[in-house]
Amino acid sequence: MKEDVEFIYEQVDKHHDWFSKSIPMIASENIISPMARELLISDFHDRYAEGAPGARYYQGNIYVDRVEIRTEELAKKLFDAKYADVRPISGTVANMAVLMAFGGPDKKITSVDVSSGAHISSAHFGAVGLRGMSPITYPFDLDEMNIDVDGTRKMILKEKPDIALFGQSVFLFPTPIKELEDALQEAGSHVWYDAAHVLGLIAGGEFQDPLREGVEVITGSTHKTLPGPQHGILLANPRDEESREKLFWSVFPGVLSNHHLHAMAALGVTLAEHMEFGKEYARQVIKNAQALGQAMYERGFDVMCPDKGFTESHTLAIDVRKYGGGGTAVENMEKANMISNKNLMPWDDVDSALNPSGIRLGSQELTRLGMKESHMVEVAELIKRVVVDRESPEKVKDDVVEFRKDFKGVHYCYKEGMPAHERFTFL
C-alpha cells in the first residue's frame, strides 16, 4: 500500500511541477481560484444530498441547502435566467438532462457536425445517440467558421426538429440565433445552446446573450472560460411550467444521484467572483486570443478567419497540415512544455481524429495567469520555433520555463495581497 500511495503522490507532484513550468493552451481548461479550491477539500466532499433543497432523501443537509440555494440565486442573477440548476456534475451530464427532458427515439434533433466543431455529446456516438437519436447537421460556412444561416433556416423549416441544438467545442464566433428565431418559432423547436466553452464570456457580457436571442435552455461545464470547478450547470427561460418540470426531474433522478456538493459550493464562489471580475476577465481573454491569432498569422500559420480577426472568443483554430498535421504539432509542442490539443477541421472526417488537420488554442488560462497581448507575441514565437522551424523541443523548453517564471499567480479572483481571513469580505 505504501508504495502505491507514494507512487500516486509522486506522479501528481510531477504533474504540478510540469504545469507550473508550461504554457497551458487547451481551450477546455482553466485554473480555479484559491477560495473556490478550498471548498473542494471541505466536508461537503464526503456528503450526500439527493433531491432538492428542502426536499432531500437524506438528513444532514441544512447548510448544504443554504449553499445550493445561494448558488442558484447567483447563477440566475449572473445570467439573467428565470431558472438555474447547479446540480449537474459536468457539462455532458447537463446535456443528457436536456436530452432526457425533450428528446427520445421518437424525437428529431438538429446540431452542428462534430468535424465543424461540435462537442462529441451531440453526435450519434455520444449522448444524443444514447437517447436513440441521430442528429441532422446544419450546413456549415467554412469561410465564416459558423453555420450557414440561409441553409440552416431552410433545414429547420423542412425538418421541424423537436430540439435545435447550437454550440460548439471550436467556438470562434457567436451563433446567429437571432437570425433564425422566426424559423425556430415556426418549427416549434426547443432551442438549446451548449455554452460550455463560452459560458464565462457570456456571463462577462462579451460574447452573445442566448437567453435574450430566443434560446430556451443553456447547458455548460463550469471550468473553461468560466474559471470554476469541474462541474456543470443548466440555465433556462422555460417556455412553460411543463418544460420547467421536465428539466428539473431530468437532472434528478434522471441523470444523477448525489451532485458533488464540494464542486457545487466551489461553483458558488466562482459565480460570485465572476460578478466582480468577469467582464474585465472576459474582455482580456478575447483580446489575448485575437493578439495570439495575429502573431501566429504573421509567423506563417494558417489561422482560420483572418478577415474576421481570427476569433471573437477564447479559441483559435489553426490548419497545420503543411507542418505534418495536428498530431505531430501538439506532440512536439508538449515536449517543449506547450500544452494544446489536435483538432478536427471542417474538411476532416471523424476517422481523422488521431491526426487531424488542425490544432486548437485557447487564451483563457494564459489570461488567468496574468498574460496580456504583448505576451501572446512571445507565445506565438515559441510555437513557431517548434512547429515551423522544427527547432529542438528540448531547447525551446528551456525558454518556455524561463518565460513562465513571471506568471505564477491566479488573477481575476480575490484581491491580490488580501489576508486569508479577509478574503470573503469584498463579496
Q: Provide mean pLDDT across the span 129-143.
A: 83
Is pLDDT above 80 for 313?
yes
- Identify the residue with better confidence: 354 or 222: 222
* DSSP codes of every residue in 40-61: TTSGGGG----EETTEESSS--
Tell me what pLDDT residue 126 has.
Answer: 67
Q: Provide mean pLDDT across the span 297-319.
A: 97
Residue-wise pLDDT tens digits, 166-224: 988 888 999 999 999 999 999 999 999 999 999 999 999 999 999 999 999 999 999 99
Tell me what pLDDT residue 228 has.
Answer: 98
Gap between the Cα atoms of 258 and 264, Å rounded: 11
Is pLDDT above 50 for 423?
no
Tell me what pLDDT residue 426 has.
Answer: 33
Tell me what pLDDT residue 125 has.
Answer: 67
Is pLDDT above 80 for 7?
yes
Q: Provide mean pLDDT across the span 90-119.
A: 88
Q: Provide mean pLDDT across the span 281-293.
A: 98
pTM exceeding the 0.85 threshold for the entire prediction: yes
Tell me what pLDDT residue 421 has.
Answer: 44
Are 346 and 333 a contacting pair, CB within 8 Å?
no
Q: Provide mean pLDDT across the span 306-313.
A: 97
**Helix, coil or strand: residue 159:** helix
Write the CA distances from 96 to 7, 103, 249, 308, 317, integer angstroms.
Answer: 36, 9, 12, 34, 27
Q: Provide mean pLDDT across the span 99-123.
A: 82
Is pLDDT above 70 for 316?
yes
Residue-wise pLDDT tens digits, 258-283: 999 999 999 999 999 999 999 999 99
Residue-wise pLDDT tens digits, 9-39: 999 999 999 999 999 999 999 999 999 999 9
User: Residue 128 — very low, low, confident or very high, per pLDDT cuts 50/70/90?
Assistant: confident
CB atoms under 10 Å from CB of 182, counted, come to 13
Mean per-residue pLDDT over the chain, rounded: 93
Closest among 334, 342, 387, 389 to 361, alpha carbons compared: 342
Closest among 345, 295, 351, 292 to 319, alpha carbons compared: 345
Q: Provide mean pLDDT across the span 390-407.
A: 97
Q: What is the DSSP letter of 313?
A: S
Cα torsion through 116, 121, 125, 128, rounded to 10: -110
Gap between the Cα atoms of 74 and 67, Å rounded: 10
Tell me what pLDDT residue 42 has.
Answer: 96
Tell me what pLDDT residue 365 has.
Answer: 98
And the C-alpha cell for 116? 465543424
Domains observed in the chain: 34-273 (3.40.640.10)
Is pLDDT above 80 for 293?
yes
- Identify the residue with better confidence: 88 or 121: 88
Is pLDDT above 50 for 424?
no
Gap between the Cα atoms of 29 and 221, Å rounded: 10
Are 111 and 128 a contacting pair, CB within 8 Å?
yes
And the C-alpha cell for 293? 491569432
Residue-wise pLDDT tens digits, 39-80: 999 999 999 999 999 999 999 999 999 999 999 999 999 999
Tell me what pLDDT residue 427 has.
Answer: 31
